[in-house]
Amino acid sequence: MTTSAIHDIGYRHYDGRRLGRAYVLRSLFVHNLRAAFGLGRPARAKVMPFLLAAIMMLPAVGSIAAVALTKQPEALIRYSSYAPLLQIVIAIFLATQSPVLASRELRFHVVPMYFSRPVGHLDFVLAKLAALATALLALMAVPVTLLYVGGLVTRVPGPRDQLLHYLGGLVGCVLFALVLASIGLVIAAFTPRRGFGVAAVIAVYMLSSAVVVIIQELAEAQTNFALAGWVGLATPFNLVDIVQVRLLGTEAASRAQPPGVTGGVVALAVCAALVAGATAVLYARFRKAGLS
């Protein structure tokens, strides 16, 4: 005969206030945003994001200094052109930080632990997408804002026009952040190894840019400028630049543009489709990982 005993090990019901979905979503967003800049992680995790952020600031500082010394307003970099001008730096940031947000939980098989709590799959995806987009937006919008403030301090003429151009530049930064974050997270979510994720994001950026440039050169050689413009939709930086030029009235930073407002509307629709499609793919990816 065996005897059994019931031991009171101190479990008690939680009687406190339930913070709800909004608190969970905000906590996930803050956690992923901190991770994008290496906050709360070892010092070596902070080196790359903050180094790239410092590099992003240098052209803005140099441009403001040039305006102050030469008194030539033309020396101030156009707000809408800042991101395309420094697209390599932005692409490196995207490549190095996307795997931090998208692949670590997959690599260590901890995604089911998130969903053991009242965390929805869509909330999980939206928090990551919003966090990476916010990190990219900060990377681009801070130097653009510095340019605007520097223009005011150095008395660049036309303050009203400068404000309108600055606001247009910020809209472009938001579009860049959303499109790039969507692409980077999708690629990183299917490459659990961080090194492979970094290489995959860089490879997609370089190959798409190279192929588009080659096709545009061939099309321009055949005087088919419309084709050269439409091909620009295949790269994220050209895609958003088309929206800026055709719908916001900024000066072109890419070599070719599709004609008229129609080109801008199509480009904006492609941006929306990329973000929506990436959200759906990430939802399916993390939902599958949560069930395994």
Q: Which domain holds residue 201?
A: 21-291
Tokens of 12: 């008690």
Q: What letter represents residue 72's amino acid? A: Q
Q: What letter represents residue 32's amino acid? A: N
pLDDT in tens, 135-177: 999 999 999 999 999 999 988 888 888 999 999 999 999 999 9
pLDDT in tens, 199-219: 999 999 999 999 999 999 999
Among the residues of 71-158, which ranges form H helices?
82-85, 87-102, 104-107, 111-115, 121-153
Within-domain flag for 12: no
Within-domain flag for 218: yes
Model confidence band, residue 2 (pLDDT cutoffs 50, 70, 90): low
Angle (deg, nearest 10), helices 20-36 and 121-153: 60
Handedness of CA 146, 152, 156, 159 (dihedral sign): positive
pLDDT value for 292: 63
Domain count, the chain: 1
Within-domain flag for 15: no
pLDDT value for 249: 86
Average pLDDT of the chain, as a whole number: 90
pLDDT value for 8: 66
Nearest 5°: the CA angle 100, 101, 106 is 90
Output DSSP code: residue 39.
T
CB 150 within 8 A of CB 187: no
d(CA 39, CA 33): 9
Tokens of 270: 């492609």
pTM: 0.91
Within-domain flag for 77: yes
d(CA 134, CA 132): 5
Model confidence band, residue 68 (pLDDT cutoffs 50, 70, 90): very high
Within-domain flag for 2: no
pLDDT value for 85: 94
Within-domain flag for 1: no
Within-domain flag for 197: yes
pLDDT value for 288: 86
Within-domain flag for 263: yes
